[in-house]
């Protein structure tokens, strides 16, 4: 660490919400360690914002331990970890590819667990000198089951339980845990406007910088849980808790446009590290959920 430099590790930083978070953090003086699988795009962003590049598949526990060892060697204190890397899994539980169910758990849920545990020595070191933060990028799909993306919602429910449990376990340690729950956000893997069938749901789609602001605000203003945007998603989460059948029926009625959901007999959308040129947004360019 150089002087008073604050170190942030941001996973899934090569695109979408993670990229927006890294840009916002860098603009506020943080030095970002950028993590994703696609090295080219990380390099391009790092050159722009003065960050560091660490290619890694967060679903691979051994790779995450090696990643943490490299980061901690350079930065014994890590002031902020943003667990943002994630993939979609569109389709209900009767149609979604079985390997995709496992993969979405490995990346969206376990990836954050592996990163948090592996970087804990750095977070504790920062906590001893002023405090440290963990942000978990969950989703409204972690609070209300969205049947058209059932496996995604299940992974996000697990991630939410992880985030809340971690917050309780770390109380008093100097490491604050923040949970951010976005609704639909327009990104490469989640091209919401193109795939959502309901014009009502499409009306509430937001852009990544709005989520990035919510993340940085959560850290700076010490907010435990933030839903972005608050309306209509917070009331939906409350309704899920008190009227699960009504919300289940509503979610079951909403769906994706025909042709935008892979059938179990079709190959899954590419889950490879992305190249420098972003794919064009189309209903077929990836699966979606919230």
Ligand X SMILES: NC(=O)c1ccc[n+]([C@@H]2O[C@H](COP(=O)([O-])OP(=O)(O)OC[C@H]3O[C@@H](n4cnc5c(N)ncnc54)[C@H](OP(=O)(O)O)[C@@H]3O)[C@@H](O)[C@H]2O)c1
Using CA atoms, how far residue 44 sits from 27, 40, 271, in Å, is 16, 6, 21
* Beta pairing, strands 30-36 & 52-55: parallel
Q: What is the pattern of x (binds ligand X, CB under 6 A) and - over residues 124-143?
A: -------------x-x----
Contact between 85 and ligand X by CB under 6 A: the answer reads yes
184 touches ligand X (CB under 6 A):
yes
Contact string 94-113 vs ligand X (x = CB under 6 A): -------------xx-----
- Long-range CB pairs of 63-72 (<8 Å, 24+ gap) are 64/111, 64/114, 64/115, 64/118, 65/114, 65/118, 67/35, 67/115, 67/118, 68/115, 68/118, 68/119, 68/122, 71/9, 71/33, 71/119, 71/122, 72/119, 72/121, 72/122
23, 47 contact by CB (below 8 A): no
| 58 lies in the site for ligand X, by CB under 6 A | yes
Q: What are the C-alpha distances in Å from 98 to residues 206, 229, 288?
A: 30, 32, 16
Binds ligand X by CB under 6 A, chosen from 14, 163, 260, 285: 14
Task: Answer yes or no: 152 catalytic.
Answer: yes
Asked if 115 touches ligand X (CB under 6 A), the answer is no
* Stretch of 81-89, 195-203, 216-224, 229-237 contacting ligand X, by CB under 6 A: 81-89
Q: Which two tokens stand for residue 32?
A: 């970002």
For the bound state, the minimum distance from the C-beta of residue 233 to ligand X, rounded and expressed in Å, comes to 10
Minimum CB distance to ligand X, residue 155 (Å): 8
Is residue 201 within the footprint of ligand X (CB under 6 A)? no
Q: Return d(Cα 226, Cα 233) in angstroms, integer.
A: 11
Residue of the chain from 6, 10, 16, 22 that contacts ligand X (CB under 6 A)? 16
Element (H, E) at 125: helix 111-127
Q: Considering the rule CB under 6 A, would residue 9 count as an interface residue with ligand X?
A: no
**Segment interacting with ligand X (CB under 6 A) among 30-38, 115-123, 125-133, 170-178:** 30-38
Q: Which token pair is 270? A: 């590419």
User: Contacts with ligand X: how many residues (CB under 6 A)?
Assistant: 33
Nearest approach in angstroms of CB 128 to ligand X is: 29
Active-site positions read: 152
Site residues (vs ligand X, CB under 6 A): 11-18, 36-38, 57-59, 84-87, 107-108, 137, 139, 182, 184-185, 187-190, 192, 273-274, 290
């Amino acid at each position: 660490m150089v002087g008073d430099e604050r170190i942030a590790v941001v996973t899934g930083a090569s695109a979408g919400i993670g990229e927006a978070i890294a840009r916002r953090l860098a603009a506020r003086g943080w030095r970002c360690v950028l993590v994703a699988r696609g090295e080219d795009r990380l390099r391009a962003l790092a050159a722009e914002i003065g960050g560091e590049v660490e290619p890694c598949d967060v679903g691979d526990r051994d790779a995450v331990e090696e990643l943490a060892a490299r980061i901690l060697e350079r930065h014994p204190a890590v002031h902020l970890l943003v667990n943002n890397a994630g993939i979609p899994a569109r389709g209900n539980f009767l149609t979604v590819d079985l390997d995709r169910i496992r993969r979405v758990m490995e990346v969206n849920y376990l990836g954050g667990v592996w990163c948090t545990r592996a970087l804990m020595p750095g977070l504790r070191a920062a906590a001893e000198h002023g405090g440290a933060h963990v942000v978990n990028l969950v989703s409204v799909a972690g609070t209300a089951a969205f049947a058209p993306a059932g496996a995604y919602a299940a992974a996000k429910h697990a991630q939410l339980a992880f985030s809340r449990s971690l917050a309780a376990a770390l109380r008093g340690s100097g490491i604050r845990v923040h949970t951010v729950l976005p609704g639909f956000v327009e990104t490469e893997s989640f091209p919401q406007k193109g795939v959502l069938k309901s014009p009502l749901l499409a009306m509430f789609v937001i852009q990544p910088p709005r989520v990035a602001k919510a993340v940085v605000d959560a850290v700076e203003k010490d907010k435990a849980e933030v839903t972005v945007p608050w309306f209509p998603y917070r009331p939906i989460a409350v309704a899920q808790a008190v009227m699960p059948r009504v919300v289940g029926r509503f979610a079951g009625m909403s769906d994706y446009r025909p042709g935008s959901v892979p059938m179990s007999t079709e190959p899954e959308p590419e889950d490879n590290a992305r190249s420098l040129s972003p794919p064009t947004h189309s209903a077929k360019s990836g699966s979606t959920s919230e």
